[in-house]
Structure 1
Amino acid sequence: MTSTQLPAAGASQGLATEQFAGVRELFDSMLDAHPRYSAQVAVYLGGTRVVDLAGGPDSAADSLTGVFSCSKGVSALAFSLLVQDGLVDLDATVATYWPEFAQAGKGAVTVRQLLSHQAGLVGVQGGFAMEDYNDLPAVADRLASMAPMWRPDSGTFGYHALTMGVFLEELCRRVTGERLQDVYDRRIRAPYAADMFLGLPESEESRFRPVLFDEQPAPAFFDPHSIAGVAGNVQAGNLLGLPNIRSVRAAGSCSGAGVGSADGLARVYAGALTGIDGLPPFLTPETIALMSQEQVWGLDRVFCEISSFAVTFMKANPRMDFGSAQAFGHDGANASLGFADPLYGVGFGYVPAWNEEGGTAGRGMQLSAAVRKAILMA
C-alpha cells in the first residue's frame, strides 16, 4: 500500500495474525468511533512481526510523522550501546567525560543521576530557540554552566523534556567524537531496516506527514518562569509543532525531533530485545537489565504527576500501564508510544496522525493492553 492508497475510515489495513485479531478489532472500533482518527500500530513477538496496521484518512502504511519524546527512548537504545561497549560507566561522574559540567556545584552528579531526570537542569530562563538545539555544543555549554534547580542528591526528580537529549548527545560526542544520531543510524536504524529516524534525510521527505492538531481553546495562564514553564521551553513557543519544521526534523534532536512509523518504533525495540529478520539482538540481556532498571518513582516535581524512570527510559506504572514491570520505553507528546517488554518478548509501536488529547493514557495504552491479553490467552 502506497501513501496515496489510504485506508477507509473504520477499517484498518495491514497485518494482524490470528492470535492478535482482538488488537485489530479494537483498532477498528477506534476508527469507527471517530472518522478522522488515523494511526498506525505495530507489534513484534519474539522477533516476528505479528501486527502492522494503519487506518484512517490521514495515516498510511508507509507514512512517517513526528514521534516527539519517543525520540528519547530510541536515543537511549543507541546510548545503551556506549554503556555496553564500556565507553560510559553509569556510576562515574558526568564530569569524568564532560569536565565543564562540574561548574556550579555539579561535580558529584553521576551519569545515572543525570540520565534519570534527577539533575535539576530542566532548561534555562527565557528558553532556547528551536534552532539552538541544532547547535549542540552551544546548548551543552550553557547547561554545563548552570546551577541545578534542586539538589541532584535530594532523591527527587523532574522531567527534563528538552534537555535530556542534549545530555545524551553531548556525552556521546565526548566519548566517541560522533553524533549519537550517527551511532544510532549506523548501528541500529540501517542494519535493522527501521523506519525510525533521528534526522530525517531528504530522500524520505515524500513520506512525511505533518502532525495534525485540532483547534484548542486559549490555555489558562502558564507562568513561563515556573519549573514547568522552563522545562517546557514555553517562551520559545509551541513545541508541538517541532517535527513539522524541516530543519528541526532534519537535525533530529534526541529530545523530541524523531520521525518514524509505528513499525519503525516496534522494530528498533524488538531489535534490541530479541533481534529480527535473522539478526541477533543488539543489546545483551545484561545491558537491558542495567539500562531498564527503575531509578526513580514518585511525584515528578516538574509536572506533578506520578512517573517512573530507568536510565532515560520510562517505566510502566499504574498511571502509565503500557507493559509488565520489566517493560521500558517512552511516549511522545502526541500520544505516540514505543517500548520493549522482556517478559512478553514484545516490541511495540503506536503513532497517531493527530495530536491526541489525554496522551498515552488513551488509545495507545488500550492497544498495548490488548496485545498483552492476546499473549496471556494463547
Structure 2
Amino acid sequence: MNDTQAPTLLDVARAAGVSRATVDRVINGRPNVKAKTLQRVREAMERLSYRPDPLAAGLARRARYRFCFLLPAGTNAFMDEVAAQVAGSAAWLAGTRASIERRFVDVFDPFALAGAIDAVDRGFDGAAIVALDEPHVRAAVDRLVADGIPVVTLISDAPASRRLGFVGVDNAAAGRTAAALLGRFSGGRGGSVGVLVGSLSLRDHVDRLFGFRQLVERDYRHLSLLPVVETRDEDGEAEAAVARLAAADAGLVAIYNAGAGNRGAGRALSRLGADRRPVFVGHELTSASAGPLREGLFDALIAQNAGHEVRSAARLLIAQASGAPIIPEQERIRIDVFIRENMPD
C-alpha cells in the first residue's frame, strides 16, 4: 500500500488473513463470523487506521469475487459434465465480477478431501464442495467456515457441517422415483434386486438408497434387495459388480445403480441375452449412459441438471459475499426422468 493512499477493504483483508467478504461482514455486523476472526479483523483495521465509509462499502460490494470449487477426480461422467459446466460459466461469471478456480480431489478418501478443504486459500470469497458425509470432512468444512469462507455443498451434502446450504436434488425423492420405475418395469415379477452405490459415505447415494428401500418395502414386497455393493463410481467396478450379480443369482429381476459407473454397467448388460437381462434403473443422462438407454440396455435414468447446479452454487456464494438477495424458487433443482422414448436429440 502506498503511504499516500488510504487503506482499502482489501488491505484489511490481507492484513487479517481473511477474505474481503469476511471484512465486509464484520463492518456491517453480519452473523457467522467467529470471535477470533472478528478480533483479527478489528485489530487489522486499527493497525491500518482503516475507517469504512459509504463509498468504500459500495466499492466492496462491487469487488471481484473469487470462488473455489472442489470436484471429484476420476472417471465419473456426470462429474466431468459438472467440471465442464464450471469452466463454461466463465463468461457469465465475468459479468457478475466473479471467477471460479477448479480443484480436483479423490472424494472417496476422507483424509484427502479434508486435506484439500484445509488447503483452500483463505483469500477466496467462498467454496463449493462435492462433500463426503464423514467426520474429518465435516470438521474441515467447519474450519473453513470459521475462517470466514462460506461453503455450499454441491450434489452430495454434509448436513451436520456449518455449510451455508446444499445445492442438489432431493435425493430421497430421487430414490423413491427409481423404485417406482423399477417396480413398474419389472411387471410384477418376484425376485431379487441388486443395488450399487459409489460409497455409503456419499450422502446423495445414501439418501437415494433410503428412498429406494422405503418405497420397495412399502409397495413392492415381492422384490427382495440384495446386499449393497460399493463401486467408488468406477466403470470397471460397476461392470464387475453387474456381471457377478447376473452370474450368481438366477432370480435377479432388476438392478438399481444409485451412483455412477454406468458405462461399465452397460458393458456387462450387453453381454447378457435379452431373456436374461434384468431391468436397470440408474442416474444421470451422460455420454456414458445415453447409449445404453437408447439401445434398451437401461430402462430409465433419473437425472439432474449440472449447469443449473453450478450456476445455483455460484449465485448462493455471490449473494453471501455481496449481501444480495436470492430467489429460493430459482435455486430449486428438479428431478428429471428419461426413458428411451423421451431422450433429447
Same fold (TM over 0.5): no
Q: Return the TM-score normalized by structure 2.
A: 0.24
If you compute each CA radius of gyration, which structure gives the higher value, 1 or 2?
2
Q: Return the TM-score normalized by structure 1.
A: 0.22
